Structure 1
Amino acid sequence: MLNRLLPPRGPARTLTGITLVHTMGQGLWMALNAIYATTVLGLSPGQFGIGVAVAAGIALAVSTPTGHLADRVGPRSVQIWSFLALGPLTAALLAVHGFVMYVIVVSMQAVAYSASRSARMAMVAGLVPPEERVSVRAYLRATSNVSVSAGAALAGLLLTVDSVRAYQLAVVFNAATYLVTGLLTLLLPAVEAQPARPGPALTVLRDRPYLTFVALDGLLSMHNLLLDVVLPLWVLHHTGAPRWMIAAILLTNTVAVVLLQVRAARGTDDPPAAAKASRSGSFCLAIACIVFALTEGASALLACALLLLGALAHVLGEIRQSAGSWGMAFGLAPEHAQGQYQGTYAMGADLGKMIAPALLTWLAIEHGTTGWLVMAVGFALVGAAMPFVVDWARRSARPAQDPVAA
């Protein structure tokens, strides 16, 4: 199965294989991060939450500058050194004592993680022809879903053991995946560094159409938290569906993304086509919200059927919106500044993750059907705006962003 998820040839196949290693460690750590901090390090849940928030804020703040660094020195070098730094920084959690030291370590991890993320997308832009970038990005996502699931399954085994030594082994394993990822990056061809150009260094911060796209895309990306955060609470407190439906919905989503993401990404490399894909995806998300709203007060059997129907509508919206998002992120960025543009693009999803848990939970859990309908209208309106943003961006004078070309 994994072989089918890899691109057929070239650097794209190597990129996807590297992602397989990297995200397996991520899947493991996502399931154990909070438990390690509170059980092994002795932090309170509040202290852990503050540490996560500080790290997220730092990653957000340095995303564009680290992307600019990838443009200037070459994304392969930045990716190698950021992953090699993440190895010992992750292992440093074994020596952490106290809240202050924990915050320092996770903050340093956030800088290295942000650099690796910006560099990784700049590597895709530098090594893959424009007409294949979105499909490669889809391969990366499908592969990461498989490896994250494998990492989460391994975390489940460690949770069964439930010992300090087991959790420490998880830290070592995660650190090792970063080091291996950094070394595997050496197998990729180098992407030529971009020379400095006249004018402001961070040109993306003056590109209003692109920043508008990033903001709207961040709002659309909030749908990623529906299944993880909102729907489990909804199933437990507002429907008659059994608890196991939560796992069934998540499994449906994971399998569908693995099987359909690459196919859903076809034909979305051009920004206008990508905008239409994002719009159609947002309409599917709106339909999913309406179907979820209908489960309130429904019988167990009807609630189960509607939840699965809503989950299918949601995943169709998810894969189309993701594909459209990547097509616009790559296609609207000038080639000489892909690093800083991809770093800025990632900020939209980061902001969405920060806003979504509180906002979407408040809408659905506190306001029920009305809240779901508000979400449906919101997703549809944001998606409908994407073609207009792309038109605006294409009317803008690109030579102004590339003085050398001008």
Structure 2
Amino acid sequence: MPNLLPPAGPQRTLSLAQLSNSVGDGAYYVTSALYFTHVVGLAPGRMGLGLTVAWAVGSVAGVSLGRIADRRGPRGTAVLLALTTGLAVASFLVVRDFALFLAAACLYATAQSGLAAARQALLAGLVATKERTGALAHLQSTLNAGLAVGAALGGVALSAGTTAAYLAVFAVDAASFLLCALVLLRLPAVPGAPGGRKVKLAVLRDRPYAVVTLLNTVLLLRMPLLSVGLPLWITERTEAPEWLVSALFVLNTGAVMLFQVRTARAVRGIPTAVRALRRSGALMVLTCVVLAMSAVDSPWAAVAALAGGSVLLVAAEMLHSAGSWQLSFDLAPTGRVGEYQGFFGTGVTVARTLGPLVLTGLLLGRGTVGWLLLGGTVLAASYALGPAARWAAGTRQEPAPAPAAAQAV
């Protein structure tokens, strides 16, 4: 159990900042769809369109904001973006038409994407190179713990079902980002990297890194699988009870909270990251096979297959997370971590935006064949990441960055 607590210093402060806003985010995630449709009054189709546009804008803007974090200093940039995110969430409290909703959603998605990139640059500046994957594992564990607590709070609001309850959730989420900004101010300042004017957004010209990001996006299909694919599969194609959707979510978040740090220990460089990603791909094939077996007439057999597949899924998720974190940092040039992390993070947006469409077409449209196609695609991408990572590493024109974190601390 002591592994759940990050080391004292910047890592623990970063985790505290992560915890502060993830509680609010957890409540937001479980209530936002009903809030926007029932309180704001948007049609589900318009809400979906607005969020898709917003995250597309945010993913593009996140790269530039990551570059600003590199140039101006990641701590100050992260603080400003945390405050901006809180302001965007607070604006949802008064939005009552589509145009204002779209503007607020674009601001929210842009600030969130930039904040993620700035945080990664801040971590790179405060944590020694060899400790970064472990630090990210602690952050992921903290994130899941906060989301679970926030989801429980959101559940209370859903049970109440009143406008006041929904407004309280959004107010808590906005306040959580204010608290996050205050916690980030406790960290040491990290100086910006001199960039001059010669290369702007160099990541857009870095083809090897772009290939790594693209392949990683395929592996990120596991995210909408848990939130969209599995719930629809359970309700449409199996005899399992609907409450199992919630139970599997709790299983996933709890397992990540308890075991992500331990899983990440074995990943300490590009070779170990590649091995972790290959193992993740192999586990995803098994996951898909086992989950496909849940389409049976027996509720108990369906529950057993879904539970077993979910255990394999979370194991694949933890290996993928550890491997992808290592690659994303090790392949980013010194002084451009925020910019590169902003670009790498676009994979999450693409997976969340296009993933539901891909998964519903595969799983609900093709059944078992769809599961096998999904598993095979993820496995191929996981094995292709090895050559792509070696290609990218071979194009780096500088040695691995020195642990500026140790100097800053």
State the TM-score bracket (shorter-chain normalisation).
over 0.9
Aligned-partner residue type, residue 260 of structure 2 = Q
Q: How many residues align?
A: 401
For 1:57-68, what aligned pairs fall within 5 Å after superposition?
A: 57-68=56-67
Report what 2:405 is aligned to. none
Distance 2:238 2:88 in 1: 44
* Alignment deviations for residues 194-243 of structure 1 (CA, whole Å, 9 cap, x no partner): 01246322111111111100000011001111121111221222222222
* Alignment deviations for residues 295-326 of structure 1 (CA, whole Å, 9 cap, x no partner): 22252222222211111111111100110000
Task: Kindly state the Cα deviation for residue 117 of structure 1 after the two structures are TM-superposed.
Answer: 1.1
Aligned-partner residue type, residue 213 of structure 2 = V
Task: Kindly state the Cα deviation for residue 268 of structure 1 after the two structures are TM-superposed.
Answer: 1.4
Structure 2 residue 21 is the aligned partner of structure 1 residue 17: no
Report what 2:299 is aligned to. 300
Tell whether the 8 Å contact from 2:148 to 2:250 is kept in structure 1 after alignment: no
Distance 2:26 2:100 in 1: 24
TM-score, normalised with respect to structure 2: 0.94
Report what 1:277 is aligned to. 276
Report what 2:229 is aligned to. 230
Q: Secondary structure at the match of 1:243?
A: coil
Task: Kindly state the Cα deviation for residue 97 of structure 1 after the two structures are TM-superposed.
Answer: 3.0
Distance 1:31 1:248 in 2: 15
Tell whether the 8 Å contact from 1:134 to 1:265 is kept in structure 2 after alignment: yes
Structure 2 residue 105 is the aligned partner of structure 1 residue 99: no
For 1:68-147, what aligned pairs fall within 5 Å after superposition?
A: 68-147=67-146
Tell whether the 8 Å contact from 2:333 to 2:398 is kept in structure 1 after alignment: no
Q: 1:252 to 1:400 in 2, by over 3 A?
A: closer
Distance 1:135 1:400 in 2: 21
Aligned-partner residue type, residue 207 of structure 1 = D
> What runs of 5+ residues in structure 2 fail to find an aligned partner?
402-409
Distance 1:103 1:385 in 2: 38
Q: 1:396 to 1:34 in 2, by over 3 A?
A: same
Tell whether the 8 Å contact from 2:223 to 2:351 is kept in structure 1 after alignment: no
Q: Give structure 1 regions of 4+ aligned residues with deviation exceeding 4 angstroms.
A: 399-402
Aligned-partner residue type, residue 343 of structure 2 = T
Aligned-partner residue type, residue 324 of structure 2 = S
Q: Percent identity of the aligned residues?
A: 36
Task: Kindly state the Cα deviation for residue 248 of structure 1 after the two structures are TM-superposed.
Answer: 2.5
* Alignment deviations for residues 29-55 of structure 1 (CA, whole Å, 9 cap, x no partner): 111111221112112112211221121
Distance 1:245 1:95 in 2: 35
Tell whether the 8 Å contact from 2:329 to 2:337 is kept in structure 1 after alignment: yes
Task: Kindly state the Cα deviation for residue 244 of structure 1 after the two structures are TM-superposed.
Answer: 2.8
For 1:253-332, what aligned pairs fall within 5 Å after superposition?
A: 253-332=252-331
* Alignment deviations for residues 91-144 of structure 1 (CA, whole Å, 9 cap, x no partner): 122222321111112212222222211101111111100101011101111111
Distance 1:240 1:114 in 2: 39
Distance 2:98 2:113 in 1: 22
Tell whether the 8 Å contact from 2:93 to 2:170 is kept in structure 1 after alignment: yes
Greater displacement, 291-300 / 132-141: 291-300
Task: Kindly state the Cα deviation for residue 342 of structure 1 after the two structures are TM-superposed.
Answer: 0.5
Aligned-partner residue type, residue 31 of structure 1 = V
Distance 2:49 2:362 in 1: 24
> What runs of 5+ residues in structure 1 fail to find an aligned partner?
none
Tell whether the 8 Å contact from 1:276 to 1:386 is kept in structure 2 after alignment: no
Q: Secondary structure at the match of 2:221?
A: helix
Task: Kindly state the Cα deviation for residue 399 of structure 1 after the two structures are TM-superposed.
Answer: 4.3
Distance 1:77 1:213 in 2: 29
Tell whether the 8 Å contact from 2:218 to 2:381 is kept in structure 1 after alignment: yes
The structure, 1 or 2, with the larger RCO (C-alpha pairs under 8 Å, 6+ apart) is 2
Q: Secondary structure at the match of 1:210?
A: helix
Task: Kindly state the Cα deviation for residue 87 of structure 1 after the two structures are TM-superposed.
Answer: 2.2
For 1:335-354, what aligned pairs fall within 5 Å after superposition?
A: 335-354=334-353
TM-score, normalised with respect to structure 1: 0.95
Aligned-partner residue type, residue 126 of structure 1 = G
Q: Secondary structure at the match of 1:81?
A: helix
* Alignment deviations for residues 42-85 of structure 1 (CA, whole Å, 9 cap, x no partner): 12112211221121111111111111000000000101111112
Distance 1:200 1:31 in 2: 42
Task: Kindly state the Cα deviation for residue 401 of structure 1 after the two structures are TM-superposed.
Answer: 12
Aligned-partner residue type, residue 245 of structure 2 = I
Aligned-partner residue type, residue 191 of structure 2 = E
Tell whether the 8 Å contact from 1:217 to 1:349 is kept in structure 2 after alignment: no
Q: 1:243 to 1:93 in 2, by over 3 A?
A: closer
